[in-house]
Structure 1
Amino acid sequence: MAVYAIWNNKGGVGKSYLTFQVASEYAQQNPNKKVLVIDLCPQANSSSMLLGGMVNGENALAALHSTVPRTSIAGYINDRIVSPYQNPRTGSQYVKPLAATNPALPSNLYLIAGDEQLELQSSRVRAATERGPDDAWRLVHMWIRDLIADVADAWAHHEHEYTVFVDCNPSFSIYTELALSASDRLIIPFSADGSSKRAVRSVLALAYGVSRQPGQAQSEFFLGTLRHQMNRPKIYMYVGNRLTQSYYSSAAAFKTVVGEIGDEIYDVWCANPNEFSIHPAGSPFPASKRTFKAMFQKEVGDANTASVVSSTLGTPICQMTSGTKLVLGKNVVVNQSQLDKQAPNIRDVVSAIE
């Protein structure tokens, strides 16, 4: 069992899109494992895609939000607000099997849906860390790990291994902290621009305490993990996501930014390799920047129209075929060349996930 958080401290890097594609393909490649996506982003974009896209997915998401209690992450968080320091063991009731709703997905893929009510709950979650027993901060930050344990217990009689992907909100909110506290490994998506470089620096500072200036204040999350001797997720890979054709052809500036982001992460590796997860299991430690990049860096091209069709219809890019698709009442042509720009990259990323 492994739990992967997918997070960058910046919106617009395709984090939810990557979660949708990677989780779907991972389930496809690993039919003997149960695969769970936990959507801890209030926008619930990955949930919408997994449930069937812009129309069917949004309708399915609205139906989950209309139940009492809500069949979403917000329903579970509300249970924990009522019982902040004792596990109510209700986590498994919020799991949604996906294939019956979205036939494009494999039958071993499951979802705990995102919910905008996370924003309304966040102040009460934060308040629960500040009162109660001496270890209230630790107990609250274990909520999502407790949730995963509840689901694992419910699945135990199936004798399946399982893997979890957690889609995180870009902001470093309390529910992002809960997601990181539950995760063993971190996947960092980024785009090829200067703001992504700053965002990756923020990831390293907020989660791992990597200071850029002497005396720089540390995040409460980083200090809390030290204080309570809690594990942080190990950096597993960083993914240049939906890179445009200009990156692959003429624009040297794009490649320079990607290289600088890699250098930032490589510097952390040189200073503290214990913050990284070597993979595959049993591999030797990278001995150079080149071998480090080979292990930890991945690139995913932009499939252009095919990317839009994939997310709008809820059809994973690796399962999509070329041809004319009906998208929001209009015929849209997906070319094989567009699929070829991204599907092999997604398969390559998934093949590196254990």
Structure 2
Amino acid sequence: MAIYAFWNNKGGVGKSYLTFQVATEYARQHPEKRVLVIDLCPQANSSSMLLGGLVHGEAALDQLSLAAPPRTISGYIEDRVRSPYVSPRSGGHYVVQVSATNPEVPPNVHLVCGDEQLEIQSSRVLGATNPGPQDAWRIVHQWISDLISDITVGWDDYTVFIDCNPSFTIYTELAMAASDRLIVPFTADGSSKRAVRALLALIYGVQRNPGAQISQFYLNTQQFRLTTPRIYAYVGNRLTQNLGPASAFRAVVNEIGDEIFRVWLANPNQFEIHPNGALPPRTRTEFKRMFQYQINDANTSSVVSSTLGIPMHRLVAGIKNVMGRNVMVNQTQLNSLQPNIRDFVQEIE
């Protein structure tokens, strides 16, 4: 069992798209396992993709969110707000089997849907951390761990993927507290570099400058002995599909890699060595081989896959009807991206 969070302190890096592709490809590669996706992003984009895309997925989301109580993450959070310090053990009510709605997704994928109500609930969740019992902060930050425990009772073997919102709000903190491995998507631009720096500061207390303020989340995890996820991979996402990133972007990718490599040198315990049994990297090259990955941008194929809710491994070449328009999916794009995603997922344990 492993729990992965997809997070970067920046929007537009493809967290939800990567969650969708990785979870479905992982389920295909591991039919003996159950795969649980928890969508902790109010935009619920990964939920929409999993449930069938922009039309069918959104309709399914509306139906789940209008149930009484909502069969979404906000329904569970509402349970916890009413019972903040004692788990109601209600998490199993909020999970759905995705293939019942979208047959393109493997039958071993399960989902707790995202919900825009998370934004409204966030202040109430934060309020539950104080006042309260002496360890209220720790108990509240275990809500998503409780949810996972509720759902997976009786599951023999499973893997969890959590899609996170870019802002470091309370529900992002809950995701970090529930995860044991962190996948960091980024794009090749300066703002991604700054976001990775912010991520390292917010979760791990890495100070860019002496005397810089340390995040309260990091301080509280130390005080309450709450574990945080170890970095498993940082993924250049939506990069050009040529021989590699364009030369101007390659420099930014390398700078981001150097930033994280410096953190490794200072504190390797914040990283998850993989595969199981592998030796820790000794050089920058070995570190890059273990922790740095690239997912190419397939342009049209990526848009069709996410808009129609068809995982990349199920997408075939030809004309697709996308929102009333005929769009051509080229086999050359699929020949590049399908093995690209497959190979990355093979590195996930």
Give the Å deviation of 1:247.
7.5
Describe the superposition over 1:292-328 as per-residue Cα deviations: whole angstroms up to 9, x where unpaired: 0000001000000000000010001121111111111
**Alignment partner, residue 340 of structure 1:** 335
Task: Identify unmatched segments of 5+ residues in structure 1.
Answer: none
SS at match of 1:61: helix
- The one-character-per-residue Cα deviations of 1:20-47 (angstroms, maximum 9, x if unpaired) are 0000000000000000000000000000
C-alpha displacement of 1:240: 0.2
| Structure 2 residue matching 1:63: 3-state secondary structure | helix
Say whether residues 1:266 and 2:235 are aligned partners. no
CA distance in 2, matches of 1:245, 1:162: 33
Whole-angstrom distance in 1 between the partners of 2:177 and 2:243: 34
In 2, Cα distance between the equivalents of 1:315 and 1:341? 17
Q: Which amino acid aligns with 2:60?
A: A
- Paired residue for 1:166, among 162, 166, 170? 162
- Establish whether residue 293 from structure 1 lines up as the match of residue 293 from structure 2: no
Runs ≥4 residues deviating over 4 A: none
**Given residue 111 of structure 2, which amino acid in structure 1 is its aligned partner?**
L
Cα deviation, 1:313-344, whole Å, max 9, x if unaligned, reads 00011211111111112211100111123221
Q: Does 1:107 align with 2:102?
A: no
- State the AA in 2 paired with 1:244: T
Deviation (angstroms), 1:220: 1.1
| Letter of the 1:177 counterpart | E
* C-alpha separation in 2, matches of 1:92 and 1:167: 19
Alignment partner, residue 30 of structure 1? 30
Higher mean C-alpha deviation, range 335-344 or range 115-124: 335-344
8 Å Cα contact 1:247-1:254 kept in structure 2: no
Contact 2:241–2:298 (Cα < 8 Å) also in 1: no
**What residue number does 2:55 align with?**
55
> How far is 1:248 from its partner?
2.1
Post-superposition offset of 1:130: 1.0
Shift in alpha-carbon separation, 1:124–1:247, aligned structure 2, 3 A: farther
Residue of structure 2 aligned with 1:175, choices 171, 175, 194: 171
SS class of match (1:35): strand
Q: Indicate yes or no: 2:321 matched with 1:326.
A: yes
What amino acid is aligned across from residue 330 of structure 1 in structure 2? R
1:279 is aligned, of 249, 274, 279, to 274
Match of residue 257 from structure 1: 252
How does 1:132-147 map onto structure 2 within 5 Å? 132-147=132-147
Whether contact under 8 Å (1:236, 1:296) holds in the other structure is yes
Shift in Å at residue 348 of structure 1?
1.4
Question: Identity of aligned pairs, percent?
Answer: 63
The CA deviation at 1:245 is: 3.6
Q: Quote the Cα distance in structure 2 between the aligned partners of 1:245 and 1:195.
A: 21
Which whole-Å deviations, capped at 9, do the CAs of 1:108-164 have from their partners, x for residues lacking one?
Answer: 0010000000000000000100111000000000000010011111xx1xx530000
The runs of 5 or more residues in structure 2 that have no matched partner are: none
Match of 2:308 in 1: 313
Query: Structure 2 CA distance, aligned partners of 1:148 and 1:215?
Result: 38
Taking the aligned partners of 2:299 and 2:35, their CA distance within structure 1 comes to 27
Contact in 2 for aligned 1:247/1:255 (Cα 8 Å): no
TM-score scaled to structure 1, two decimals?
Answer: 0.97
Q: Which secondary structure does the structure 2 equivalent of 1:318 belong to?
A: helix
Q: In the alignment, what sits opposite 1:216?
A: 212
Task: Determine helix, strand or coil for the equivalent of 1:248.
Answer: coil
Structure 1 CA distance, aligned partners of 2:70 and 2:187? 34
| 1:267-292 deviation line (CA, Å, top 9, x unaligned) | 00000000000001100010100010
Offset, 1:246: 6.3
